[in-house]
Amino acid sequence: MDEPAYRRVVVKLSGEYLAGSQPFGIDQPTVDRIAGDLASARALGTEIAVVVGGGNIFRGVEVSSRGVSRPTGDTMGMLATVMNCLALEAALERRGQSARALSAFVMPEVCELFTRNAAHKYLSEGRIVLLGGGTGNPYFTTDTTAVLRAAEIGAQAVLKATNVDGVYSSDPKKDPSATRFERLSHSQALEGGYKVMDATAFALARETSLPIIVFSIAEPGSIGAILKGTGRGTIVAS
């Protein structure tokens, strides 16, 4: 078997994708399919941590205009990410893939607190580590969390799973003339204002020289394909 392209990665999943075709909530067939993709990718030999959003359950930024303070709303959203991590953890364990959910918040009855040492330990044991609770601070997105955690645990890349197969010059769903980039620098991604990740995430990735690979999660097996170097996507790297 060929060696995977990366020894350790962080996969960033959107919470909205876990809802499947539903407007909100957790769609179990979708969660099971993603768990299968993650387990298959882990079998290639790459150590995998996962940061998942919470937008399928709650979006803190949306309630700030309805009387809930932004810090409180963001905290509620970060708690939603823990729920998604627990759903993925259960789905992975059912498949026989050992997994461990870690949270940025202290909640010992629910899951263990994230520390770099704990993440290193579980990853080296072959577990898929699910990182919930965002950064533990308001105003930071889970995209930024993914880059931050990747830098902390020594990951070699962030795999940003989206509903399109890379970064385009404009929205390909609205503009048929949109072109896909094979490669961008972090600075080009920032200056171009592409919406696949927020500016803070791109800036932190640039500062830490961390590659980001933007790809579509819609195709089964796409995570493994990226790890093998055969997947379709855009590499954002210095």
Q: Residues comprising the binding site for UMP?
A: 54, 74, 135-142
**End-to-end CA separation in angstroms for the chain:** 29
Binding site members for ATP: 12-15, 55, 59, 162-163, 168, 171
Instruction: Indicate the annotated binding residues.
Output: 12-15, 54-55, 59, 74, 135-142, 162-163, 168, 171
Taking the C-alpha atoms of residue 226 and residue 21, their distance in angstroms, rounded to an integer, is: 25
Amino acid at 140: F
Q: For residues 226 and 215, give the distance between their C-alpha atoms in angstroms, rounded to a whole number.
A: 8
Quickly count: other Cβ atoms within 10 Å of residue 189's Cβ: 25
Q: DSSP per residue over 143-192, as a string?
A: HHHHHHHHHHHT-SEEEEEESSSSEESS-TTT-TT--EESEE-HHHHHHH
